[in-house]
Structure 1
Amino acid sequence: MSHWKWGVLGLIFTLLTACQPGASQPETNAAQSESNSAEPVTLVLYNDAGGTQEEFDQSIGNEVKKILPNYTIKYIGEEKGTLEGMVTSGTEIDLFQSSIGNAAGSILNVGYQTDITELAQKSGIDLSRFEPSMLEAVKQFGGLYGLPINSGGLVLYYNKDLFDKFGVSYPKDGMTWDDAIELGKKLTRSEDGVQYMGLVISPPHLLRMNSYSLPVLDSASGQPNFGNPKMLQLLQTTVVRAAEDDGYRTVVRDKGLPANDGFSKQRNVAMYVMNYGLQNGKDFEGLNWDVVSLPTFKDLPGVGTQPYPNFMFISANSKKKEQAMEYIKALTSDAFQSYYAKSGRIPVLKSDEIKKLFATETAYKDKNVKNALYSNKYAAPAPKSKYDSLVERSFNKQSKNIILNNPDLNTVLATIQEDAVKTVEAEKKK
């Protein structure tokens, strides 16, 4: 399972464990109105991140029933077949659920998207209620094919016990990358046979949500983007500089870069830059952690992570488009978004009142999660293509060499570019 499927399922886990049904919800506009018909409505929903009907009902379906009691969702996860296979077999699908990273290679790839602008207007959905970057994220696909229902984003987790152990002050919101790297150096040391690493960054996630909004595939040329000087600057400033210590590099050379387990299980990583949502898993139990905002670049003050929204799309071949639109309307209502916010799932509306509810009904309600996510403004979403996963594969094959800077970073990026070009060209010929 990819990191992004893990991220979606991890966020669903939050809703299974942290949400308290029956909590009061604020009043909302027409989004809470009764559906157009009291007749029973059944919609088929396909999620390219997988999951079960029970998981969907517990995290989404049961709550939407409070708004649309006559609606029933027949849920299909990816493990029951690919979207292309579903379409080929004639399976009728009304709604598609997908992330910004997956949509181009699934829903848009099979051509089942449809612009919902008129449907949204007819349904009375006020698009001005949304965080602009969330709408921009879906419009970059070429039209308003759906609406965001929740989001993700990069944050900096830290292990408070390691900072206490070495007498180092905790990280703060609003740090620059220079601040974070210097802080990391104070904690990168070997003691009692353990090599501690001050700052570890997940390269694939940094690439997907980078503050410079660099796409992995340039939309103008259609070519991989690793010849872009900004790409060199991005990786040199963050990933390479964080790993300049010899002990740090020895760990990477011998064992690879620590991932989630290094931070949450082995606990030899002091700071870890990763997608928000790790705290939802059992591995954080007993971990003395907190979180701050993603460090920023000097030439982009106040600009943090790109959003990483999950969308709900309507199928072009659905015979129930208006009913499907009503379901999306319910998902983006103040009531449902408040439920998501309380549960620690990032809402997509710009309402300050809803943001105030963020994580208030979670086990980590006293952590710094709200400031970590909202201290910076979102970077513009980078354009996505159906070839992104192939380009990222070329990048991931060289991630160790990027960190070790061996050979030099320019050479590594040239190797990534060459491999990605060949891979994309081969895919286009299929």
Structure 2
Amino acid sequence: MNRKRNGSWSKGLSAVICTGLLLTACSGGGEANKAKDDPKSPGISKDPVTVKFATTQGIFNEAEFKQYVTDPVVKKYPNITVEYINMSTQGSSLNELVSAGTIPDVVVGYGATLKQLKELKLFSNMDPLIKKYQLDLSRIIPQTLEYTKVNSDTDYYGGLPLFNNAFGLFYNKTLFDKFGVPYPKDGMTWEEVGDLGKKLTRVYDGTQYRGFFPDGVNRMINQIELLQLNKDNKSILTTEPWKKAFDLWNYVYNYPGNADAPYNTINFGNNVTAFGKGELAMIAGYSATLLSLRKIPDLNFDIVTYPQHKDHMGYSTNVDTPNFSITEQSKVKDAAFLVLQTMLTDEVQLDLARNAKMSILNNDQVRAEFGKAIPEFQGKNMNLSAMAKLKPSVPKTPKYSTSDTNKIVSDAYESVLKKEKDVNTALRDADEAMNKLVEQKIKLNP
């Protein structure tokens, strides 16, 4: 743990542990020690062993890897060395590692990585290890577990979640104060946030102020689990639910002053910049947005829960969690699983949550600590835990619905924003493009 970074955290850890926030730590360090202390559990070898752990810079950089993986593991299991492989570096992608004959013991990535592991014949069934080491899955948010099976299209666990990217509605308090508009609140629907944005959209002293950027329409599509394809792998983009989705996005975003050029495209980076400059009042963002905004000096902002669909209340957008998978070829599966168990202890999960990597534990007390170790927010009365309050949704993504089909949807909505097409025409053209693409995919990969 970086104790300089988390000064107040290191001083208060003992008190936190013993007041019950870390539910199992006081009785022996959580799940990872359960097998070692329980005579009914399998024995754990004391022989030196190295676990090759491949992930990307965006999931764990080297400092984070030391904080959340290396240090906690060596504390519990001094004989286990965890080797960091950064798949973001040139020549170290998963495909390149496999081609070079360097197969990691552990691969951590998002849903597409689970599918890639299957394609590369690296995917393994982790259920026997879960049973062997008595991992209590009831501690984990059910939707994050379901996500792994949905994305790998299996009835067993080929990966387990580590943390979740949390989502929220960020708002610039200075702009709300400037125009005398009440702040947003937890629990608002898309329509309510859209109406609030319209109150703030105006030209003032020669500057165009904008009310709301909702991010791409696919975010809300995932929130309500609206599919692109039917069971026969035919596009359903011309159906009424899709028209309603595009109409909703038009209502909350596509109106004069808010979506004029250069903001008539879905460009998240440009809108984060506008928010930081004080020209955009609200933006629907996620964990990385929080970490980006903290670097902007004198930016007075806060957060409420992610906008909810009125027919699907209580849910944020889709699960967005990196999954820990042990490769089929690994010769050190048991040691690799002990690394996983260590990362799922209350202590490590609390540390992740406090540094804006939302814990996947089904534990309100841990979720309430979200973001509290970030130095820039110390001493500020911010509603950081709003990002961890809603449940994530789990869209049942069909086999052929991937990033390229998502792009067809995004491009369709951008054509509406640019006033090149109306909603019906955009969806009809996207429907045709979707069917052509999927037909090609089926020929290549039946």
TM-score normalized by the length of structure 2 = 0.83
Match of residue 33 from structure 2: 32
In the alignment, the residues of structure 2 paired with residue 155 and residue 15 of structure 1 have an alpha-carbon distance, to the nearest angstrom, of 28
Match of residue 278 from structure 1: 289
Match of residue 135 from structure 2: 125
Q: 1:337 to 1:386 in 2, by over 3 A?
A: farther
Cα RMSD between the aligned structures?
A: 2.9
Shift of 1:308: 1.2
In the alignment, the residues of structure 1 paired with residue 404 and residue 265 of structure 2 have an alpha-carbon distance, to the nearest angstrom, of 25
Give the total of aligned pairs: 413
Q: Which moved more, 1:256-265 or 1:406-415?
A: 256-265
Code of the residue aligned with 1:60 in structure 2: it is V
Shift of 1:339: 1.6
Q: 1:353 to 1:153 in 2, by over 3 A?
A: closer
Is structure 2 residue 179 aligned with structure 1 residue 171?
Answer: no
Is structure 2 residue 383 aligned with structure 1 residue 368?
Answer: yes
Is structure 2 residue 313 aligned with structure 1 residue 301?
Answer: yes
In the alignment, the residues of structure 1 paired with residue 97 and residue 4 of structure 2 have an alpha-carbon distance, to the nearest angstrom, of 28
Shift of 1:345: 1.6
Picking from 222, 238, 256, the partner of 1:227 is 238
Q: Please list, as runs of the form range in 1=range in 2, the aligned pairs for 1:45-124 lying within 5 A after superposition.
A: 45-48=53-56, 53-78=62-87, 79=89, 80-100=91-111, 102-124=112-134
Q: Percent identity?
A: 26
Is structure 2 residue 408 aligned with structure 1 residue 398?
Answer: no
Cα contact 1:133–1:380 (8 A) shared by 2 = yes
Picking from 242, 246, 259, the partner of 1:249 is 259
Q: After superposition, give the CA deviation of every residue in 1:180-202 in whole Å (9 maximum; x if it has no partner).
A: 11101001111222211101111
**Greater Rg over alpha carbons, structure:** 2
Match of 1:297, SS state, is coil
Q: 1:15 to 1:137 in 2, by over 3 A?
A: farther
Match of 1:305, SS state, is strand
Picking from 369, 374, 383, the partner of 1:357 is 369
In the alignment, the residues of structure 2 paired with residue 97 and residue 358 of structure 1 have an alpha-carbon distance, to the nearest angstrom, of 22
Match of residue 52 from structure 2: 44
Shift of 1:334: 1.5
Shift of 1:386: 6.7
Match of residue 3 from structure 1: none
In the alignment, the residues of structure 1 paired with residue 190 and residue 33 of structure 2 have an alpha-carbon distance, to the nearest angstrom, of 43
Picking from 314, 322, 326, the partner of 2:338 is 326
Shift of 1:53: 4.2
Match of residue 353 from structure 2: 341
Match of residue 147 from structure 1: 160
Match of residue 171 from structure 2: 158
Q: 1:18 to 1:305 in 2, by over 3 A?
A: farther
Picking from 301, 309, 314, the partner of 1:289 is 301
Cα contact 2:108–2:325 (8 A) shared by 1 = yes
Q: 1:114 to 1:346 in 2, by over 3 A?
A: same
Q: 1:52 to 1:151 in 2, by over 3 A?
A: closer
Shift of 1:294: 1.5
Shift of 1:404: 4.6
Q: Which moved more, 1:140-149 or 1:417-426?
A: 417-426
Q: 1:129 to 1:83 in 2, by over 3 A?
A: same
Cα contact 1:148–1:348 (8 A) shared by 2 = yes
Cα contact 2:160–2:323 (8 A) shared by 1 = yes
Match of 2:309, SS state, is coil
Cα contact 2:287–2:356 (8 A) shared by 1 = no
TM-score normalized by the length of structure 1 = 0.86
Match of residue 317 from structure 1: 329
Match of 2:250, SS state, is helix
Code of the residue aligned with 1:32 in structure 2: it is N
Code of the residue aligned with 1:125 in structure 2: it is L
In the alignment, the residues of structure 1 paired with residue 202 and residue 396 of structure 2 have an alpha-carbon distance, to the nearest angstrom, of 36
Code of the residue aligned with 2:244 in structure 1: it is Q
Shift of 1:21: 5.6
Q: After superposition, give the CA deviation of every residue in 1:342-364 in whole Å (9 maximum; x if it has no partner).
A: 22220001023322333232233
Code of the residue aligned with 1:118 in structure 2: it is P
Code of the residue aligned with 1:367 in structure 2: it is M
Structure 2, unmatched stretches of 5+, are 37-42
In the alignment, the residues of structure 1 paired with residue 258 and residue 276 of structure 2 have an alpha-carbon distance, to the nearest angstrom, of 18
Match of residue 40 from structure 2: none
Match of residue 266 from structure 1: 277
In the alignment, the residues of structure 2 paired with residue 392 and residue 183 of structure 1 have an alpha-carbon distance, to the nearest angstrom, of 28
Shift of 1:17: 5.4
Q: 1:350 to 1:167 in 2, by over 3 A?
A: same
Q: 1:228 to 1:153 in 2, by over 3 A?
A: farther
Code of the residue aligned with 2:109 in structure 1: it is S
